[in-house]
Structure formats: C-alpha cells, structure tokens
Structure 1
C-alpha cells in the first residue's frame, strides 16, 4: 500500500476555503479516482509543536492506494480536472508526497 499526501503549507497570505474543499473538491477527487482510492483522510492543522506557533500545514489530505502504479494509472487521466479545481479553494500550491505504508 502507498499513501499520497497532499500538503497545503500555511502562510500569512494563505486563502483556503475549507467548506469548498470538503463539500466540493474532496468528493470530486473521490469520484474521479473511483475504486482505486482505498481510503482518504483530511486533517486541518491546529498548531505546531511549539506553543503559540501556527501549524506548518493548514490542510493535509492522505489517500491510500494499492500501489504507486494504481495511483498513477488513475491520476494521470484525471489530473487536469483535479488540479484545475485547486484555484477554486486556495491561492497556495500544494506539495505532494508519496510514501510506502509499513504498518
């Protein structure tokens, strides 16, 4: 199993519409990725490990897939629609990390 993490960095200039993200973007991505998407989790950052310091990421979305190949096979044909929707809820460029799940 692999995990694809989409990380939205926090900043003073950040605009992020949580309602749009949860009610429109996440369902769109889930629909487009279909059965290849095994699990999805959205985390909203509250704070960092330093008291009074803001969270490094305002949102982290984690999606599980059987393999890197299954993710790439479903993401590639849907990437334009998924990526073009980002401007509807944020002004930041998300970061992507793909990890192998060990436990």
Structure 2
C-alpha cells in the first residue's frame, strides 16, 4: 500500500511538472489579436521552398513587426480535406499581432522588399486574409 501511494505521488508530480512546463512555454493566442494569414494556393507547376521561407523570409518579416508581434506560425500543406482532391494551399504563414494599424505601419515601408523576396522561395502569388481572433 505504501509503495502504491509513493508511485501515485511520483506520477502525479511528474505529470503536474510536465504540464506546468508545457503551459509555461506555450504562447496563448488571445481574443482580440489580429491574425494575418498569408496563403499560397496550390497549382500545377507552382513551387515553394519551405526551407528558405522558414529560415529567411518569415524571420525577416517578423523582424519588421517588432514588439507588436505576439507569435508567428508556418504551415506546410499536406492534403485536402476531401480525399483524392488537390491540395488547396502549399503553405500558410500566419502572424498574430496586437494592433492592425501598427502592423500596417511596419509593413508599408518594407512592402517592396518583402515582395521582392518572394522570388527567392516561390512563384505563387499569395492570398492574404486579415482577421480578428474571436476565440
């Protein structure tokens, strides 16, 4: 009985510690944040260099956003939601920012440089959606 109690306590504290560490490292996306999704539609003959996008392009743009940036994510498309249908997007880059006006002010003077960098990783014209996080 004593051994079972000790093992139970050990498992509880291990799980609690792991959960606490995971929560500590997590960035919570809060209601009211602005989400800027940059989506690269799939099409036959289109290319996308994920390594360049991840290591050069997205960090460059994130650097322009400064303290307004909460976090950014990079997604690689792997399948359509419907079996045997083409992939809708090859990739999606998302920025979560506190202020739309600060985002626009940071991007405006750098827009030409951002667009010029597209040719280094893709021949796709992205679709951009700006939205507000509701939940």
Q: Which has the larger radius of gyration?
A: 2
How many residue pairs align between the two structures?
103
- Unpaired runs of 5+ in structure 1? none
More contact order relative to length (CA 8 Å, sep ≥ 6) = 1
TM-score (norm 2): 0.72
More strand by percentage: 1
d(CA) in 2 for partners of 1:80, 1:36: 21
> When you count helix as a share of all residues, which structure comes out higher?
2
Question: Are 1:69 and 2:101 counterparts?
Answer: yes
What residue is the counterpart of 2:87 in the other structure?
55
What TM-score does the superposition give when structure 1 sets the normalisation length?
0.93
What's the RMSD between the two structures over aligned residues?
A: 1.1
Aligned counterpart, 1:96: 128
Consecutive unaligned residues in structure 2, runs of 5 or more? 1-32
Runs (4+) of structure 1 exceeding 3 A deviation are none
